[in-house]
Amino acid sequence: MLVQFTSLNSGSNGNCYYIGNDTDAVLIDAGLSCKETERRMKRLDLCMQKVKAIFVSHEHIDHVRGLAGIADKYGMPVYITPATQKGCYHLNPKHAVSFIAHTPVNIGRLSITAFPKYHDAKDPHSFIVTCNEKTIGVFTDIGKPCKNLINYFKQCNAAFLEANYDEVMLANGKYPSFLKQRISGGNGHLSNLQALDIFKNHRSKFMTHLFLAHLSKDNNCPIMTEQLFKTVTEKVQVKVASRYEEMAVVCINFSVEKFKPITYGQLNLFDHNLTS
């Protein structure tokens, strides 16, 4: 069975991740407009009709901007906690389905499991998606490492792992003190070094792909960050998930793994509404 996954966008201007197989798929977050989500999926030859559900990590606008539009247009269930739902004012309640942390939800042949994390939101969660014994994790917007994160990261064949900021760039940057504290204070985002420690010490022997996610535009450097992680291992393919364009689809078919190429240039997006 073919397992496919990609980032449609990763950053404070919008977050959306696609994970699926031959027949079913889910979106983790919907931070792009419905039209932009459709446009990017079409360029990647992905079909919205295959998407059976959206799973929401938390209510910040860069994760739910397109949530109501997609759910309304496609009649799609939205898996969301009651506390997070209160912050998604435009979501029609008829689409909302509650989930319970650490309890798998089956969508076709996909199994999605949520776990709570540290972040300055009402009820934040991250997710792993398992299909045919392959597990993909989406771990962003995490204030600090915790036992839940480490436990689920160890299970992953591939993962999107937040590496939001370089500590020196943030400390010496233009952000006001309160915002620097919000980002690095334990309920904001993971630094490069925090993410690197997780990767070095807790990745599985069977991990093949790591995608560095939710990089700050102002307080990080994609080239520097990617090279930092590549120095740790040659066995895991390491790439940065862009905040400007969709990522090449990764296809895993049992032991056969490859990147599906894309051939367009960098795209410009709307201005971000959350600074991080």
Q: How far is CA 132 from the centre of its chain?
A: 21
Average pLDDT score over the chain: 92
pLDDT at residue 30, as a whole number: 98
| Per-residue pLDDT tens over the stretch 97-141 | 999 999 999 999 999 999 999 999 999 999 999 998 999 999 999
The reported pTM is 0.92
Q: What is the CA radius of gyration of the chain?
A: 17
Mean pLDDT calculated for residue range 243-249: 97
Mean pLDDT calculated for residue range 145-172: 98
**pLDDT grade for 224, boundaries at 50, 70 and 90:** very high
Q: Is pLDDT at 264 greater than 50 in this prediction?
A: no
Mean pLDDT calculated for residue range 88-100: 97
Q: Is pLDDT at 88 greater than 70 in this prediction?
A: yes
Which domains are present in the chain?
A: 2-258 (3.60.15.10)
Lowest-pLDDT range, 56-60, 150-154, 264-268? 264-268
Mean pLDDT calculated for residue range 170-196: 98
Q: What percent of the chain has pLDDT over 90?
A: 89
- SS3 breakdown of the chain: % helix, strand, coil, rounded to 5? 25, 25, 45
**pLDDT grade for 244, boundaries at 50, 70 and 90:** very high
DSSP label at 202?
A: H
Question: E strands, the chain, where?
Answer: 2-9, 16-20, 25-28, 51-55, 78-79, 96-97, 105-107, 110-116, 125-131, 134-139, 158-162, 209-213, 237-240, 250-253, 256-259
Q: Is pLDDT at 262 greater than 80 in this prediction?
A: no
What string of DSSP letters covers 93-149? Answer: GGGEE---TT--EEETTEEEEEEE---SSSS-EEEEEEETTEEEEEE-S-SS--HHH
pLDDT at residue 254, as a whole number: 52
**pLDDT grade for 169, boundaries at 50, 70 and 90:** very high
**pLDDT grade for 50, boundaries at 50, 70 and 90:** very high
**pLDDT grade for 252, boundaries at 50, 70 and 90:** confident
Q: Is pLDDT at 184 greater than 80 in this prediction?
A: yes
pLDDT at residue 266, as a whole number: 35
pLDDT at residue 218, as a whole number: 98
Q: Is pLDDT at 259 greater than 60 in this prediction?
A: no
pLDDT at residue 160, as a whole number: 98
